[in-house]
Chains A and B, each alone.
Chain A
Amino acid sequence: MAKGVMIVAEQREGALRKISLELASTARKLADQTGDEVSAVLLGSGVEGMAAELGKYGVDKVFVGDNAALEPYVTEAHAEVTAKVIKDNDPAIVLFGASVQGKDLSARVAAKLATGLATDCTDVKLDGGKLVATRPMYAGKCFGEVVINAAPQVASLRPNVFPAAENAKAGAVTKVDVAVGEQKSKVLEVQKDTSGKVDLTEANVIVSGGRGMKGPEGYAILEELAEVLKGTVGASRAAVDAGWRPQKDQVGQTGKVVSPNLYVACGISGAIQHLAGMSSSKCIVAINKDAEAPIFTKADYGVVDDLFKVVPELTAVCKKLVA
């Protein structure tokens, strides 16, 4: 009978991604409720050394697939090997990260296994031994409690929501066979973003600007605040559609749905589609001249004033606080 929790770890360029540790810790919590094992799938080239770290975060057993064909990530090869490891070991629950790679891979693997998948979950629990996965829908305008009526039960977890906590287990390595056939897709080039900024979906702090920034040059003060808070700058749809900021910066129902610890909305009125994309942030600050702006209904702290005066002052204050 299907037993235990398996995570599909994600690594890039010789290091585990943070979501992998979040997966390990969450899997550990679930497995401890039924006294079961946590296992992990770890694929790539030269990745065996990362198994120990997974062990530190609660993984009992790591299935390592080491092959040059698995680096960089290509969907079909990873899906083939991941699905085989799952089939061979029959876990009750499989957890992926809801990162770009995890979403791409989890759906393909779930289809291979003819099972269901709950994407981008913000909570997972067991009810009578069965997984109940809570996930935002309509970008967070409502939530669904999803159950999977097939085996294994597969879910992907939203990055930055589940805590990563150390809980040392063996992390014993088992090598798996990674005979992958010829691939129809080939990665030609990886072009790195050299700005050094964390992606919005993984940022702890986001400083976002909307129409109130008045133009692309207005974002300079947001960049400065973000720099001090080690955050990333985001934008509303209005700002992106006006061409002030690149598309990858858009927060909202037709952009990125984010859950940082701190979200600072500057000059954003708070269209419903924007509110949907950021309302699961832990702490929300709104800075806007218009006291009637809908953004204030979601804000933990509101500042009704000219953002061009408040933001530089706030940057100076924060500089002292974090020093």
Chain B
Amino acid sequence: MNIIACVKQVPDTEAQIKVKADGSGIEEGQIKWVMNPYDEFGVEEALKLKEKNGGDVTVISVGPARAMETIRTALAMGADKGVHICDPAFDGADAYVVANALAAVIKTLPHDIIFCGQRAIDDDAGQVGAMLAEALGVPQLTLVTKLEFAGSSVKVIRPIEGAQLSIETALPCVVTAQKGLNEPRYASLPGIMKAKKKPVDVKDAAAIGVATDAKAKVAKTIPPPARPPGKIVCGDDPAQKAAELGRLLREEAKVI
């Protein structure tokens, strides 16, 4: 099986996000960078498929030089080789540009199934998987929490609001991973040592031949709206506090 896992390097969930004074983006100085948590589920599922069915796992990332760390993390988990699409021309790229860059590389590789995270926890756009599927002309299965491989097709579970769908799709296809799909493994020490020797192909925009002009642009980054300071609800005992809270929610906030 030829399996592809797409990964993105993002700020850790504990990171404080500080907006630059001129609104041109966020301050990156203090940030700890990690693999997007949803991509970890994708990498793990790719490795599980390989272990069960044979084949190899190629991990691909679009990102600046530091994104190489995330590719190495996936290799240390057990992926076989990497492709790093790295070019300043991709700074400010939107999902459309990224999906087309990934597709350009994937088209040159044999591929049966492609994993992405259901969304990256930085821009929260959740578009790359579907746009990549369109660029490759293959079906997409987004927000997958369970996957069964059956030779030339996969069967997945996909939660929607108030229900779960069971869907069958012919390969090749793009699957976007949701929490619940699996428990991603940690890279072992031997894995980390081996990862250093695994091949990573670094390509720039010219080498893959795609346009890098973003269709959707973040014109301005702004801090979240400030919330007015809250009130501590007073009372002598829990019953009094609950009564006062109920009154405030009814009369002041008008939410119940």
Contacts and interface: CB of A to CB of B under 8 A. Distances in A.
Interface of A: 72, 75-76, 79, 99-101, 103-104, 106-108, 110-112, 114-120, 132, 134-150, 184-193, 197-199, 201-202, 205, 229, 247-248, 250, 252-255, 257, 261-262, 271-273, 279-280, 282-285, 296, 298-306, 309-310, 313-314, 316-318, 321-322
Contact of B165 (A103, A106, A190, A280): A190
A138 B256 contact: no
Tell me if B's interface is mostly helix, strand, loop or mixed.
Answer: mixed
18 contacts: A76-B139, A104-B142, A111-B96, A115-B96, A116-B216, A138-B121, A139-B121, A143-B223, A146-B217, A184-B173, A185-B168, A190-B163, A248-B159, A254-B37, A285-B245, A301-B233, A313-B241, A318-B246
B155 interface: yes
A202 B161 CA distance: 8
Interface stretch (B12-20, B57-65, B185-193): B12-20
B179 A250 contact: yes
B218 interface: yes
B124 A192 contact: no
B140 A117 contact: no
B36 to A, nearest CB: 10
Contacts of A314: 242, 245-246
Q: How large is the interface on B (under 10, 10 to 19, 20 to 34, 35 or more residues)?
A: 35 or more
A230 to B, nearest CB: 10
Contacts of A248: 159, 180
A10 to B, nearest CB: 10
Contacts of A201: 161
Contacts of B218: 137, 144-146
Contact of B141 (A136, A146, A185, A189): A185
Nearest to B19: A142
Nearest to B118: A103
Contacts of B165: 72, 187, 189-191
Given A110-B127, A304-B232, A283 B255 contact: yes
A284 B242 CA distance: 15
A310 B242 contact: yes
A137 B256 contact: no
B204 interface: no
Given A111-B96, A321-B246, A305 B241 contact: yes
A306 B140 CA distance: 47
B206 interface: no
A121 B73 CA distance: 33
Given A138-B121, A150-B215, A119 B139 contact: no
A273 B17 CA distance: 11
B256 A193 contact: no
A138 B179 contact: no
Contact of A296 (B14, B133, B139, B230): B230
A188 B131 contact: no
A315 B173 CA distance: 48
B122 A138 contact: yes
Residue of B13, B17, B96, B142 ringed by the most chain A CB atoms within 10 A = B13
B27 to A, nearest CB: 10
Given A296-B230, A309-B238, A187 B127 contact: no
A182 to B, nearest CB: 10
A319 to B, nearest CB: 10
Contacts of A247: 145, 179-180
A51 B103 CA distance: 38
Contact of A191 (B124, B128, B166): B166
A185 B139 contact: yes
A75 B233 contact: no
Contact of A101 (B160, B222, B232, B248): B160
Nearest to A275: B224
A292 to B, nearest CB: 12
Contacts of A273: 13-14
B21 interface: no
